[in-house]
């Protein structure tokens, strides 16, 4: 399997975004290296009633039980320094942090690398890969904005979880799909999650 990507969930509100993105990546037949912070597990339990184990193998099995049986999923521990995302010689060239807490934003912007998640993001930056961060916070203070500006200058993409409404959403799922669709667009992954500006249906947009 040549299509690989690193995905991270952190402690910001917005666990449904991360779950939907994981589902779409697996449907697209990606190998996904998933990193989950301890705060992210709390948010996932709060927002989606999913209580993930702190043990990577058990968490992998739990997610596989509720995810499409395509692609390949491996949950990694925060100290799994011998995993592929930890090294520029083996790491995927693409990584998404969704949702991204302001704490993780700060750690990545300053190169902290105190966990595998932070190191994986640092590797993607140093290897000139594609790093997308999806912060879910409001309002932003000057510190948050400065970190976003620094990361943008380093080549990362800051994509706040700010859904649009021109597609006339009828449900929370429609709003989730809007944000995930924009992430997939930037990753170059085809989808039919939602329509585009000037189109009436997702199918029309995907055929263009």
89 is in an annotated binding site: no
The reply, when asked if residue 37 is annotated as ligand binding, is yes
Annotated ligand binding at 87? The verdict is no
Q: Is the pLDDT of residue 105 over 90?
A: yes
102 known ligand binder: yes
Backbone φ and ψ for 96, nearest 5 degrees, come out as: -125, 130
Dihedral angle computed from the Cα positions of residues 129, 107, 64 and 91, in that order, rounded to the nearest 10 degrees? 30
Please write the tens of the pLDDT for every residue from 53-83. 999 999 999 999 999 999 999 999 999 999 9
Give buried/exposed letters for 99-137 (b at 16+ CB in 10 A, else e). Answer: bbbbebbebbbeeebebbbbbbbbbbbeeebbbbbbbbb
Was 84 annotated as part of a binding site?
no
179 found inside a domain: no
Q: How many domains does the chain have?
A: 1
192 labelled as ligand-binding? no
Residue numbers of the domain that contains 10: 4-162
**Tell me, what CATH number does 84's domain have?**
3.40.50.1950
30 is in an annotated binding site: no
């Amino acid at each position: 399997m040549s299509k690989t990507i690193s995905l991270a969930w952190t402690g910001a509100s917005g666990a449904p975004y991360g779950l939907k993105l994981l589902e779409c990546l697996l449907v697209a037949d990606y190998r996904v290296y998933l990193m989950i912070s301890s705060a992210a597990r709390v948010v996932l339990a709060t927002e989606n009633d999913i209580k993930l184990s702190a043990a990577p193998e058990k968490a992998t099995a739990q997610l596989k039980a509720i995810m499409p049986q395509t692609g390949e999923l491996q949950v990694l521990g925060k100290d799994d320094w011998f995993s592929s995302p930890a090294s520029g010689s083996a790491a995927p060239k693409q990584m998404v942090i969704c949702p991204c807490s302001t704490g993780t934003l700060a750690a990545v912007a300053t190169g902290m690398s105190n966990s595998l998640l932070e190191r994986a993001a640092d590797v993607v930056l140093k290897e000139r890969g594609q790093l997308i961060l999806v912060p879910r916070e409001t309002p932003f203070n000057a510190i948050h904005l400065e970190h976003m500006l620094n990361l943008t200058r380093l080549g990362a993409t800051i994509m706040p979880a700010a859904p649009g409404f021109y597609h006339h959403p009828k449900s929370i799922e429609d709003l989730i799909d809007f944000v995930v669709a924009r992430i997939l667009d930037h990753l170059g992954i085809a989808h039919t999650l939602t329509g585009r500006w000037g189109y009436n249906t997702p199918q029309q947009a995907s055929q263009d």
